[in-house]
Amino acid sequence: MSTAAQNESYWAQFSILPTDLEQLSQRLLEKETPATLDELARALVASRLAQLQALREASDARGRKYRPADRYAVGDTILFPLWGDRKGEVIAVREGHNPEYEPFKVIRVRMEDGTEQEFAAELPVEHPLNEMSFLDEEMLSVDEVMERYGEAIVGQLRKALTQSEEFVTVGGRWFVRDLLLDISPVAMNIVEAMLDMASGGPLRTEALLDELDLPDEVPPALRNFSLEYALMRDRRFDEVGPAGYALWYLRRMEPKAVLEVPPHLRYVPVPYDRDRLDEQMLALEQIIDDAWAEAPFAGEMEEPIRVTLFYPHWRSGTLPLTPKLARFFPTAQETDHIRFTFIDGRSGEQFAGWVVRSGRYVYGLQAWYEARKVNVGSYIYLSHGEEAGEVVIDVHPFRSKRGEWLRVISVEDNDFSFETTRYPAYCEFDELAAIGTPDPEAIDALAEQLRRLPSDRLVERVFRELAALTLQRVVHATTLYSAVNLFRRLPPAPLLAILASDEHYEALGDHYWVYRGENV
């Protein structure tokens, strides 16, 4: 056991008190500077540690804590922690007599209520009370508390500040609502005009402040925060900064595909029994790395990151914001849209990219896909640029004179089929995922006609067409996923659950399946 400051249960069961919020409010008022959640948490921990130290010093002033190993003299005052810190005075000391423990002493103590008790002293054996080193151990430092318990403390503080009407937050910083500057409608109209002249943006808050007449006596950080808070509450403006500072954009001038999820990416959740998925299926879900995968990514992030491009994102000019890529792309917690910069890994050309957190995709690649002649199944390589908010994107090009042998889809008379034939390929690709799509408009038109077809029927129909390509009539689950997503957005897990729950499908191992139904 240890002091209150060292006691794990104290910090593990930490909760925010009203007095804590009062102290943080006073701190913000005194400094007149917004603070991050981590800064406020550290200030709170420092305050609690100071309180605990004061309590310990007050307790020490009342007397020593009783430990059987310690030496005591007549007249010493002792506190007994297991009895609620009851106090007593040593009135006698004598030799103890017990062959198992000798030599030791016995002290006679008169308690505050007048009763007398005897206790062992100078006891040369281990005893739980000897571990209660209240006077000897040092208090944990703020850094030590934050390292061990910081995540939980920050979570508790975020919840308390969010529920309080006294505090407001912008861009990860917090301040007291009553001290914010009043930003007039005229000032907001000026900001709109500035962004309009900048083709919608983005512009930093500091650039906008330069054109506004706000009081000079107010600290710059508070002026900045007040304007950002006003902009956050006005639907005309969107905070899109990727690199730890605010960037503002006119919402009405953002790309349509940022404001609305592109049709090919719209996913209507399909109910399924996840318990049907065995370890191999769950592993494949991680390998395919769909944006709607339920399992979090737990692997290492080694750059460049390789991404396989499937039809919905190829058609939409996007990349999936998968559990893995969500750790790679800038994804600020306070805003849905984040604008950053793509850099072509070969030409160095820069162009805008957009993370859309709610839609789970990254937009801005349609022209680049066309320029690099990527296809369904192509490998895309991503790495961070030299500056924050920069993402380098590349492919590994190659050219074969006669094309590559690929599965190619044909659409005719409201039906589809696959054949294996030569098809142009200009960059490296995943052989299991690659599908030639010479007429995407026809695919989309057929997809609209198949919209009401139940998912299991669509999977069966696609499976049978793919099975016809091989003598063994087997289909790899990755190929099936790629082909089904030509017509409908369907993540790997519900697709695999369809295979696992239908007795007509049989798993052959290594993610290959065969259909044992009639009329295959």
Cis peptide before 269 (omega within 30 of 0): no
Over residues 73-82, the pLDDT tens digits come to 998 888 876 6
In a domain, 510, yes or no: yes
Whether 276 maps to a domain, the answer reads: no
Confidence of residue 4 (pLDDT cuts 50, 70, 90): very low
Whole-number Å distance between alpha carbons of 44 and 33: 16
Confidence at residue 63, expressed as pLDDT on a 0 to 100 scale: 66
Residues 456 and 316 occupy one common structural domain: no
Cα atoms in the Cβ-side hemisphere of radius 13 Å centred on 354:
26
Q: Are residues 428 and 335 in the same domain?
A: no
* Residue that wins the pLDDT comparison between 363 and 5: 363
Q: When comparing pLDDT for 87 and 479, which is higher?
A: 479
The pLDDT-based confidence of 230 (bands split at 50, 70, 90) is: very high
Express each pLDDT in 106-162 by its tens digit.
899 998 888 888 888 887 776 555 554 443 445 678 888 888 888 888 998 999 999
* Cα–Cα nearest to 426, from 480, 370, 482: 370
| Domain identity same for 161 and 12 | yes
Q: Are residues 194 and 325 in the same domain?
A: no
Confidence of residue 440 (pLDDT cuts 50, 70, 90): very high
pLDDT of 134:
41
Could you tell me if residue 171 is inside a domain? no
pLDDT digits (tens, 9 = 90+) for 275-301: 999 999 999 999 999 999 988 887 778
pLDDT number for residue 499:
95
CATH of the domain at 386: 2.40.330.10
Tell me: do 345 and 409 sit in the same domain.
no
Considering the domain architecture, whether residues 218 and 348 belong to the same structural domain is answered as no
The verdict on residue 79 lying in a domain is yes
The answer to whether 3 and 134 have CB atoms below 8 angstroms apart is yes
195 within some domain: yes
Q: Are residues 376 and 300 in the same domain?
A: yes
Query: Do residues 444 and 461 make contact, with C-beta atoms less than 8 angstroms apart?
Result: no
Q: What is the mean pLDDT of the chain?
A: 87
Tell whether 207 is covered by a domain: yes
Whether 154 maps to a domain, the answer reads yes
Number of domains in the chain: 5
Least confident stretch, 79-83, 393-397, 456-460: 79-83
Q: Considering 229, 254, 279, which residue would you say is the last residue of a domain? A: 254
Residue 73 and residue 219 in one domain: no
CA nearest 384: which of 437, 329, 438? Answer: 329
Provide the token pair at 513.
């399946």
> Same structural domain for residues 25 and 90?
no
Residue of 94, 112, 111 whose CA lies nearest to 103: 94
Which pLDDT value is given to residue 413?
A: 85
326 and 295 fall within a common domain: yes
pLDDT score of 51 more than 60: yes
Is position 272 within any domain? no
Kindly report the CATH number assigned to the domain that includes residue 87.
Answer: 2.30.30
Note whether 18 and 161 are same-domain residues: yes
Give the residue-averaged pLDDT of 372-392: 94
The residue segments making up the domain with residue 188 are: 180-254
Q: Give the pLDDT of residue 518.
A: 58
Residues 13 and 160 in one domain: yes
Over the stretch 32-47, which tens digit does the pLDDT of each residue have? 888 988 999 999 988 8
